[in-house]
């Protein structure tokens, strides 16, 4: 049986046997969107982290990292060999297999043949001045050629098969290599790579599994060409440069995900030696899992053109589905129409790239910026269009499978939506005349009054923090009833999504007059405003809240002492002592 016959049989088996049906015989699967989820059959777990996708024919466990297709599942689950798994599945599918072959995917013969091909291509490059000049023009120096085992295919198509035969490989070995294309007469001596710079692709252990070729002549299409997929080479699972980059990754040096061979090579040349790239296909969930094994927060650095940004957005949405505690992505946005290669080749390019990587955005910020861009592109800001925009945000967040991360994303984005809804209103609502002489006289109670006003002032001037301070603000008993009314308006704005100060303009004017000299809220970002607000609250109001809690607990003790009440009173007193020592 030839490799082609085997592939035809495997394709027929997969088309008749959905992966979920086979896995479902061992695991209780629940439908979740386009996927099925259940407890992993390969390790003990309490919550399901084992996902099956029938459309892709793949499975992946986010708990233990096991992944593969239908055949991989059966070989692993039943503890049998590749051929035995094929025979078992063929029987279930009612498909008759061709005569048995001795072929095994990833055999030593295939590994040795591909390694010989690497040596052949590298020797060709050393012997060809034109190919060497091309590499030099692209900035690929001899050290990089050696590091990445870069080679050249040559023009003559018969030389490579003759070379393999001299090395003792059979016609079957040559056919399985993926380096040749079958002609109509059945022969396989048509070389796949002709006049191309060759980029070998290695597995993590350093064995070659495939090749990529870049045409030297600009009029040859396609410009880039890859080996066909095989049992050793699956584009959805292989990352170019992974065998080198994985050795350099650390907490301070995450993977840097770029788009192509040259980007990887140039990144390594300039010291960014954790760069990897997918193999001519979109970054997949399998790629993501592979990257997360060594790096908790890889940085995505795609081209700065429209296509590159679109690819980053698609990867962001894919990643949101699989987010885990401590596992995410960051996004590095390059200048328009620049790629990593072109950035690095500019004067000072290495420093510029380092700066861009350092300010890369966490996934949630990249997501939010993209949503703001989409909002700006809405042709008409009518309630219907805004509602659709908001609904799309909810759909994206709902795709997050981890319940706690989904809750935190929803809370964070809700705060940002709240801030956006108030941004256009803030100036209008606060166009209030500042009273030169506040009606609240600053006497011996002045400091306390100023602290009260400051809490309200920060919330009024920065509505985006109201959600975060609401719980503590609700505990404050203001000394003036008019301040209490402002507090109620501020807290109600969470539900009403608007700040309406009609009828209390004089009170707002007094608050602003008192506080604008002491705190420049406009010069602070939200984080600084929250920190400032918390400091004011701790100084003037935390103790009052605790005294109220102590008084309440003491009253409960007087009414009827029990163990729970006594423990609560002790906890409040201890907490109070700790807070005093902190100050």
Q: Is the pLDDT of residue 340 over 60?
A: yes
- Confirm if 154 and 203 have CB atoms less than 8 A apart: no
Report, as an integer, the average pLDDT of 203-208: 86
Q: What's this model's pTM, rounded to 2 decimal places?
A: 0.61
pLDDT of residue 107: 65
Q: 210 has which bridge partners?
A: 201
- Strand-by-strand arrangement of the 275-278 sheet: 239-240, 275-278, 256-258, 299-300, 330-331, 361-362
Which of 129-143, 215-229, 511-525 has maximum average pLDDT?
A: 129-143
* Band of residue 133 on the pLDDT scale cut at 50, 70, 90: very high
Average pLDDT over residues 538-564: 57
At 320, the pLDDT band (50, 70, 90 cuts) reads very high
3-state secondary structure of 335: coil
Whether residue 32 contacts residue 109, with contact meaning beta carbons closer than 8 Å, is answered with no
The structural architecture, per CATH, of the domain 106-233 is Alpha-Beta Complex (3.90)
DSSP state string for 258-283: ESSHHHHHHHHHTT-TTEEEESSS--
- List, for residues 45-56, the tens digit of each pLDDT value: 777 889 999 988
- State the pLDDT at residue 416: 78
Residue with the two structure tokens 């997929």: 229
Distance separating alpha carbons of residues 544 and 448, to the nearest angstrom: 12
CA distances to 162, 482, 493 from 510, in Å: 92, 11, 21
Q: Average pLDDT of 445-468?
A: 82
Residues with Cβ within 8 Å of 30's Cβ and at least 6 positions away in sequence, in order, are: 36, 37, 38, 48
Between these two residues, 145 and 78, which has the higher pLDDT value? Answer: 145
- Specify the range with the lowest mean pLDDT, choosing from 169-173, 192-196, 333-337, 373-377: 169-173
Among 341-345, 468-472, 540-544, the minimum mean pLDDT is found in 540-544
d(CA 160, CA 463): 70
Where are the extended beta strands (E) located within 298-360? 299-300, 330-331
pLDDT at 421: 62
Report residue 252 as tokens: 């301070």
pLDDT of the residue at 321: 92
| 170 touches 113 (CB < 8 A) | no
How far CA 224 is from CA of 6, 58, 165, 198, in Å, comes to 28, 27, 28, 10
**DSSP conformation letters of 457-513:** HHHHH-GGGHHHHHHHHTT---SSHHHHHHHHHHHHHHHHSS---TT-HHHHHHHHH
Whether 173 shows a pLDDT value over 70: the answer reads yes
Q: Closest Cα to residue 474, out of 573, 568, 548? A: 548
- CA 25 to mean position of chain CA atoms: 33
User: Model confidence at 571, in pLDDT bands (50, 70, 90)?
Assistant: low
Token couple for 472:
């503590």
Domain 236-431 grouped into CATH 3.40.1360.10: yes
Angstrom distances, CA of residue 465 to CA of 181, 372, 468, 474, 496: 63, 19, 5, 14, 15
pLDDT at 362: 93
pLDDT band, residue 315 (cuts 50/70/90): very high
End-to-end CA distance of the chain: give it in Å, rounded: 81
CATH of domain 3-93: 3.90.580.10
- Residue 229 DSSP label: P
Mean pLDDT throughout 353-367? 94
pLDDT grade for 222, boundaries at 50, 70 and 90 = confident
417 vs 27 pLDDT, higher one = 27
pLDDT at residue 127, rounded to an integer: 95
Q: What is the pLDDT of residue 579?
A: 43
- With a CB cutoff of 8 Å and minimum separation 6, the contacts of 35 are 51, 52, 53
Burial of 345 (0-12, 13-18, 19+ CB in 10 A): middle
Assess whether pLDDT exceeds 90 at residue 470: no
Res 439 pLDDT > 50: no
Residue 21 in this model has a pLDDT that exceeds 80: yes
| Helix ranges, 60-157 (H) | 70-78, 82-93, 108-127, 129-137, 142-148
Q: How confident is the model at residue 296 (pLDDT cuts 50, 70, 90)?
A: very high
Q: Using CA atoms, how far apart are residues 312 and 360, in angstroms rounded to an integer?
A: 13
Please give the mean pLDDT across all residues of the chain: 82
Q: Can you tell me the distance from the alpha carbon of 527 to that of 357, in angstroms, rounded to the nearest whole number? A: 22
274 pLDDT tier (thresholds 50, 70, 90): very high
Environment class of residue 428 by beta-carbon count within 10 Å: exposed (0-12), middle (13-18) or buried (19+)? exposed
Of 396 and 379, the structure prediction assigns the larger pLDDT to: 396
Distance CA 300, CA 38 (A): 30
Average pLDDT rounded to a whole number, residues 435-444: 42
| Distance between CA atoms of residues 42 and 60, nearest Å | 11
Residue that the structure tokens 């166009």 belong to: 431
User: Which residue is it, tokens 């290495």?
Assistant: 350
């Amino acid at each position: 049986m030839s490799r082609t016959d085997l592939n035809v049989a495997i394709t027929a088996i997969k088309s008749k046997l959905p992966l979920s049906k086979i896995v479902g015989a061992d695991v209780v699967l629940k439908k979740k969107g386009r996927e099925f989820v259940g407890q992993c059959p390969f390790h003990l777990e309490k919550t399901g982290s084992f996902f099956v996708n029938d459309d892709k024919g793949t499975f992946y466990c986010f708990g233990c990292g096991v992944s593969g297709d239908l055949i991989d599942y059966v070989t692993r689950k039943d503890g049998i060999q590749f051929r035995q798994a094929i025979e078992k599945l063929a029987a279930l599918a009612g498909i008759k297999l061709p005569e048995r072959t001795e072929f095994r995917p990833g055999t030593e013969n295939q590994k040795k043949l591909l390694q010989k091909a690497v040596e052949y291509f590298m020797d060709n490059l050393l012997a060809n001045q034109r190919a060497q000049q091309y590499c030099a023009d692209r900035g690929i120096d001899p050290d990089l050629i050696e590091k990445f085992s870069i080679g050249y295919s040559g023009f003559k198509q018969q030389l490579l098969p003759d070379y393999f035969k001299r090395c003792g490989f059979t016609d079957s070995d040559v056919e399985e290599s993926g380096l040749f294309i079958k002609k109509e007469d059945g022969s396989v001596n048509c070389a796949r790579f002709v006049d191309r710079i060759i980029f070998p692709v290695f597995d993590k252990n350093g064995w070659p599994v495939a090749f990529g070729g870049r045409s030297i002549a600009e009029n040859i299409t396609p410009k880039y060409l890859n080996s066909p997929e095989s049992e050793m080479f699956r584009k959805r699972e292989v990352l170019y440069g992974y065998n080198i980059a994985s050795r350099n990754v650390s907490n301070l040096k995450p993977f840097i995900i770029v788009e192509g061979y040259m980007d990887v090579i140039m990144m390594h040349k300039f010291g960014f030696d954790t760069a990897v790239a997918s193999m001519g296909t979109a970054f997949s969930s399998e790629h993501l899992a592979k990257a997360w094994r060594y790096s908790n927060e890889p940085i995505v650095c795609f081209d700065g053109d429209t296509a590159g940004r679109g690819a980053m957005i698609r990867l962001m949405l894919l990643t949101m589905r699989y987010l885990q505690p401590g596992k995410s992505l960051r996004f590095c946005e390059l200048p328009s129409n620049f790629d990593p290669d072109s950035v690095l080749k500019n004067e000072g390019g290495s420093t510029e790239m380092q700066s861009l990587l350092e300010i890369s955005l966490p996934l949630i910020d990249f997501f939010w910026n993209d949503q703001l861009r989409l909002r700006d592109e809405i042709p008409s800001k009518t309630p219907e269009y805004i509602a659709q925009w908001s609904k799309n945000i909810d759909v994206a967040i709902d795709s997050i499978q981890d319940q706690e991360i989904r809750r935190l994303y929803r809370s964070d984005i809700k705060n940002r939506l709240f801030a956006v809804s108030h941004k256009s209103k803030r100036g209008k609502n606060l166009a209030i005349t500042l009273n030169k002489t506040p009606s609240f006289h600053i006497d011996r109670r002045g400091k306390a009054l100023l602290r009260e006003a400051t809490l309200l002032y920060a919330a009024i001037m920065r509505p985006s923090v109201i959600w975060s301070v609401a719980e503590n603000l609700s505990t404050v008993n203001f000394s003036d009833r008019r301040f209490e009314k402002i507090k109620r308006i501020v807290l109600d704005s969470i539900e009403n999504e608007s700040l309406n100060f009609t009828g209390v303009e004089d009170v707002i004017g007094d608050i602003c007059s008192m506080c604008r000299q002491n705190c420049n809220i406009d010069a602070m970002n939200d984080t600084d405003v929250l920190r400032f607000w918390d400091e004011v609250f701790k100084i003037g109001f935390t103790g009052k809240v605790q005294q109220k809690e102590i008084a309440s607990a003491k009253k409960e003790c007087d009414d009827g002492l029990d163990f729970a009440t006594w423990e609560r009173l002790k906890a409040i007193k201890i907490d109070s002592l700790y807070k005093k020592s902190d100050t």
